[in-house]
Amino acid sequence: MPFRAVVGHRRVLTLLARAIAHDSLPPALLLAGPAGVGKRRVALATAEALNCPKPLHADPFEIDACGACDTCRRIARVIHPDVIVIEPGDAGSIKIEPIRDVVDAAAYRPFEGRRRVVVVDEADAMMAPAQSALLKTLEEPPSATVFLLVSSMPDALLPTVRSRCPRLRFAQLSEADVAHVLVRDHGYTAADAQAAAADADGSVGLALAAGSRDVVRARETAVSLLVQTARTAEPARRLDAARALTAQGSTGGNRTAMQSERDQLALCLRMLMSLLRDVGVLAAQADVRTLANPDLERELAPLARTYRTERTMRAFAAVDGALAALERNASPKVVADWLVLNL
């Protein structure tokens, strides 16, 4: 995947393209940022740009891979002999043996491409001996090899390793960017992608980890709850509405069922916070392009007339308090009942 096909991270991509175009890319880089935002994908896009036999200029990038040649396709599939990806094994760690292998390979020129690229995914999983084995190569890097360390926990790396790898900082993606990736690359419908993106905290990885059906159902429940609480202040009717918040999880009495009920309620509350944020945007007549749930603008607009800015802020604080209570192991039913009386 070339730079121009990567979603988000425009500043980082522009810096990488400029460095490659001017042959000033450092021999080692640390790609650091939240999990699931595309750091590994950017590392492979860098490998393509370094080795594509037919690079091109694709505004705003000074150089970019064509993305269509045999070299680019093999790099994208991680089957190119000059692009090596190391990742944690079954035990969740990276041991010294694969690091020794790439250190030995780095002493030789690339087989086919211009540069050998070693991507260490989840580099923070390297055990201390593995990091030490890599350190000498980072201190005296071979001219034809680039090391790209990918990590969401860079501070877990040895200080000596971090000091030899200039850091590129990745930020969270916007909800729109997450939804776009889910639709383009993972077959989500637009509605399912938008629901998953709203609860993903800017991470495609988190969006994929959550069950799309559960997320969509939680968002539907949250919308319904806001509509019902906007229509009535009568406690009894509000308490009836609270049942929907805990009906999604299992109602059995065992510990697993209770945890399922708690997790489902927490998901619904996070969706509720996302919706209340959008209601606040609409109530303040702010830029609708900042909505986290733009596909629900028509449904949320009437709520903005009921949930004025002050009420929206109180409701948001109530949901935040409900989430905190769940984390302290409060009963999901008690939390749901308390919340609907305070919206």
- Which whole number is the average pLDDT over 150-166? 93
Q: Is residue 192 part of a domain?
A: no
User: Is the pLDDT score of 261 beyond 70?
Assistant: yes
Domain ranges, residue 65: 3-171
216 and 313 share one domain: yes
In-domain check, residue 309: yes
Last residue of a domain, which of 120, 145, 171?
171
Q: Using alpha carbons only, what angle is made at residue 43 by residues 99 and 55, rounded to the nearest 5 degrees? A: 125
Does 157 lie in the same domain as 45? yes
Q: Distance between CA 184 and CA 207 in Å, rounded?
A: 14
| Least confident stretch, 17-21, 141-145, 240-244 | 240-244
State residue 125 phi and psi, 5-degree precision: -85, -5
What percentage of the chain carries pLDDT values higher than 90? 45
Domain co-membership, 115 together with 29: yes
Task: Mark whether 108 and 236 lie in a shared domain.
Answer: no
Q: Are 96 and 33 found together in one domain? A: yes
335: its two tokens: 């939390």
Count the domains in the chain: 2
Enumerate residues 6+ apart whose C-beta is below 8 A from 80.
47, 51, 71, 74, 112, 113
Q: How many residues does the chain have?
A: 343
Q: Residue 145's beta-bridge partner residues?
A: 116
CA distance 222 to 275: 8
Instruction: Kindly report, residue by residue over 179-188, the tens digit of the pLDDT.
Output: 999 999 888 8
3-state SS class at 169: strand
> Chain centroid to CA 20: how far?
26
Helix residue spans in the chain (DSSP H): 10-21, 39-51, 70-76, 96-106, 128-139, 159-163, 175-186, 190-198, 204-209, 212-231, 235-247, 255-283, 297-306, 309-327, 332-342
Query: Does 197 fall in a domain?
Result: no
Residue 241 within a domain: yes
52 Cβ contact list (under 8 Å, min separation 6): 65, 66, 67, 69, 71, 72
Q: Quick one: 146 and 219 in the same domain? A: no
pLDDT given for residue 243 in this prediction: 82
Under 8 Å between Cβ of 223 and 212: no
Domain identity same for 138 and 244 = no
What's residue 251's pLDDT?
Answer: 44
Mean pLDDT of 178-198: 87
Look up residue 294 and give its two tokens.
């733009």
**Residue 3 backbone class (left: φ over 0; alpha: ψ -120 to 50; beta: rest):** alpha
- Same domain flag for 146 and 216: no
**Taking a C-beta distance cutoff of 8 angstroms, is the pair 283, 233 a contact?**
no
Question: In angstroms, rounded to a whole number, what is the distance separating the alpha carbons of residues 100 and 103?
Answer: 5
**Residue 44: C-alpha distances to residues 80, 138, 267, 283 (Å):** 11, 20, 33, 43
Q: Are residues 236 and 153 in the same domain?
A: no
pLDDT for residue 124 is more than 90: yes
Is-cis flag, bond preceding 60, omega within 30?
yes
Q: Comparing C-alpha atoms, which of 280, 274, 261 is closest to residue 336?
A: 261
3, 65 in Cβ contact below 8 A? yes
β-partners of residue 120 are 86, 149
| pLDDT tens digits for range 81-123 | 999 999 998 888 999 999 999 999 888 889 988 999 999 999 9
Structure tokens given for 329: 């192991």
pLDDT at position 252 is 47
**Mean pLDDT within 140-144:** 87
Report the percentage of the chain scoring pLDDT > 70: 95
CA distance 98 to 130: 8
Q: What is the mean pLDDT of residues 247-265?
A: 62
Q: What is the CATH number of the domain that holds 262?
A: 1.20.272
pLDDT tens digits for range 328-343: 888 888 998 998 888 8
Mean pLDDT of the chain: 88
Q: Mean pLDDT over residues 217-222, rounded?
A: 86
For residues 10-27, one letter each, b for 16 or more C-beta atoms within 10 angstroms of the residue's C-beta and e for the rest, the string is eebbeebbebbbeeebeb
- In the block, tokens 């709520």 appear at 303
Residues 81, 230: one domain? Answer: no
